Amino acid sequence: MRPFASVLMALALAAPVAVQAQAAFERPKCPAADTTPGAESRCIRDVRKQWQEANFAALQKTGLVFKYMARPDVEASPAAKAVLEQKTEGSFTVRFSVAPDGTVYNAAAVDVTDGMAPLAKLWADTISQWTFLKTAAAVTDLEHRRIYMYPADDDGESTRKAPGSSF
């Protein structure tokens, strides 16, 4: 019994380190020095759009059809709201699975960059509420990626639409 307890203790001590470890955010290259006004803003919109389209394409490949798609309620999460208000840049992935009855299970935020944990948790909790039409079999390890970037020449463009509001 003693070796078993040692193994459990080692796992317990190792687990928090793995959970707390966060990746540093590497900002995609945008032409901030371009002479065209708003070039960086356009580039950031393009990056966000690429991530949105990649999420949609990944879901399309599975054949899953949404029945209900909850939206994150930033007002209900002061910590997540603070991340947005401080314009913290970063990204994360929410990995989840869908049961044959269409319910989501095992939604977890992974690859969370520094400072994004509250927002990642909000998205994981929100995705847990999604439902899909029934499927013949479970669909596992789906990924929904999010990126948050703000231009240096911010003219209010990035705040006109809530940063977490796009699919």
Cα–Cα nearest to 94, from 73, 110, 83, 71 = 110
Q: Are 130 and 64 in contact (CB under 8 A)?
A: no
CA-to-CA separations, 13 to 36, 107, 111, 114, 117, in angstroms, rounded: 52, 23, 21, 22, 21
pLDDT tens for 103-114 read 999 999 999 999
Domains of the chain: 35-156 (3.30.2420.10)
Question: Per the structure block, which two tokens stand in for 69?
Answer: 């798609």
Q: Are 102 and 67 in contact (CB under 8 A)?
A: yes
pLDDT tens for 9-43 read 333 333 332 233 356 667 777 765 566 767 778 88
Cα–Cα nearest to 137, from 162, 101, 85 = 101
pLDDT of 8 = 30
Query: In sequence order, which residues have a C-beta less than 8 Å from that of residue 138 and are 6 or more positions away?
Result: 97, 98, 99, 100
Across the range 44-59, mean pLDDT stands at 90
